[in-house]
Amino acid sequence: MAKRHILATSTAAAMVLVLGACSGGSNGGGDGDGDGPSGTITVLTNRTDIVDTVLQDYVTEFQQTYPDVDVEFEAVTDYEGDVSIRLNSGDYGDVLLIPNTVDADQLSTFFEPLGSVDELGDKYRFIHDKAYDGQVYGLATFGTAMGYVLNKPVWEEAGITEPPATPEEFLDALEAIKETSPDTVPYYTNYADGWPLTQWQSNQGSIDGPEAVNLRTEQDAPWTEGEEQYAIDSLLYDVVEAGLSEPDPTTTNWEESKNLVGTGQVASMVLGSWAVTQMQDAAEAAGNPREDIGFWPMPWQTDGAFHTTVGADYKIAISKHSENKEAAEAWLYWFLDESGFAASQGGLAPQVDGESPEILADFETFGVEEVEIAPAPEGEENLLADIYNTAEIDLNGDQFRRQYIDVARGAADGDKASFFADLNDRWATARAEVVG
């Protein structure tokens, strides 16, 4: 398997629910009286915050339909890192979220096929994300729009009531926040946890449109001014270099960062829309209105309009090693279709006919247009991963972003020009090797 996958142990994506099961947790699987699924399944989850509350309530509801299935959760704090490693062992539960480090050509090694793209595409969105050779191996727990979470009163105190439309305006806005709210950190990287840095990459497509990823595979120098990849990484670099982020990024803490945004001690973080309800919960717990928390599009426009990349959050799947696939499948589809999880998280419904969440009301006000990344051409599903793995650039991970943050804050030698030039050299060499 998958040495590429194992190399990227700290890569993380959004915080979502993870289902998982220890293979040993199954009691035999589907061996009841023949009238339906039965037994015990283990579901891995990254939602340590709701594993003992919301998820337990889901089980109670689920068992009204499937009384002979017991569901046990295993919450994993470093989901991406730990589960990525566990995939090698075969002990990763019955149902789980597919770690983002798993490449398309590795899906059949670890997960059961759920159906064909044509079959499932009539009902579910985002099915290409974890599909390979026409088969779907994971379905989105919900969809998310990309942008940044902000504490609106802090931004309003700085005189900013509309989304900045350029990177320069965004930096100016953070500078204004620094001046008007000196006790507030204008931008929080969440460097120590790592996975929040991967959220920046999920904005690909917000400039180049649906073909952004396919375009990347045709480029020899993505980190060149004028290219989308440069815009994404350059903005983060510039925020840190200008001293607009937390003074010591090595001590950041994701869970605490929710409270910091909720109370206005942090003004903004680039994340998916999935994070809004969690920040609102923190604001409310601190005695502040939920409406204090807003969500705006990234600071750039194409053809005079903001764009947001919409995509799937974690994809739920069934372990290839599950001994109770019938019960696992029952949970998977009940969770997607009946639990109401997507709506509760402020996420886009995974179903084709689902509704947009209320938290994206500002997007409608500012005319933000949605972009959904186009699938890779047949036979090239793994091309991008082959290039960035060969280049040893964890494009969807956090390591190379941590490295340039260290450069930007003066903790490592170099500058933006030299760091990005090195990325371009490695990318071009890898692309030549992969494409031939």
Asked if residue 379 is part of any domain, the answer here is no
| Cα gap 303→289, rounded to integer Å | 35
Asked if residue 63 is part of any domain, the answer here is yes
Asked if residue 182 is part of any domain, the answer here is no
Confidence at residue 8, expressed as pLDDT on a 0 to 100 scale: 31
Mind listing the pLDDT tens digit for each residue in 119-148? 999 999 999 889 999 999 999 999 999 999
Asked if residue 415 is part of any domain, the answer here is no
**Strand pairing report for 139-140 and 143-151:** unpaired
Confidence at residue 15, expressed as pLDDT on a 0 to 100 scale: 32
CATH number of the domain bearing residue 94: 3.40.190.10
pLDDT below 70 — which residues of the chain?
A: 1-34
Number of domains in the chain: 1
| Cα gap 249→262, rounded to integer Å | 19
**Strand pairing report for 315-318 and 139-140:** antiparallel
The residue segments making up the domain with residue 88 are 39-143+312-355
Asked if residue 148 is part of any domain, the answer here is no
Asked if residue 171 is part of any domain, the answer here is no
Confidence at residue 107, expressed as pLDDT on a 0 to 100 scale: 96
Confidence at residue 30, expressed as pLDDT on a 0 to 100 scale: 42
Confidence at residue 309, expressed as pLDDT on a 0 to 100 scale: 96
Asked if residue 327 is part of any domain, the answer here is yes
| Residue 365 CB neighbours (<10 A) | 10
Q: How many CA atoms lie within 13 A of 79 on its CB side?
A: 25
Q: Are 162 and 184 in contact (CB under 8 A)?
A: no
Q: Are 121 and 127 in contact (CB under 8 A)?
A: yes
Asked if residue 87 is part of any domain, the answer here is yes
CA angle centred on 346, ends 239 and 308, rounded to 5°? 45
3-state secondary structure labels for all residues of the chain = CCHHHHHCCCCCCCCCCCCCCCHHHCCCCCCCCCCCCCEEEEEEECCCCCCCCHHHHHHHHHHHHCCCEEEEEEECCCHHHHHHHHCCCCCCCCEEECCCCCCHHHHHHHECCCEEHHHHHCCECCCCCCEECCEECCEECCEEEEEEEEEHHHHHHCCCCCCCCCHHHHHHHHHHHHHHCCCCECECCCCCCCHHHHCCHHHCCCCCCCCHHHHHCCCCCCCCCCCHHHHHHHHHHHHHHCCCECCCHHHCCHHHHHHHHHCCCECEEEEEHHHHHHHHHHHHHCCCCHHHEEEECCCCEECCEEEEEEEECCEEEEECCCCCHHHHHHHHHHHHHCCCHHHHCCCECCECCCCCCHHHHHHHHCCCEEEECCCCCCCCCCHHHHHHHHHCCCCCCCHHHHHHHHHHCCCCCCCHHHHHHHHHHHHHHHHHHHHC
Confidence at residue 294, expressed as pLDDT on a 0 to 100 scale: 96
Confidence at residue 94, expressed as pLDDT on a 0 to 100 scale: 98
Confidence at residue 11, expressed as pLDDT on a 0 to 100 scale: 29
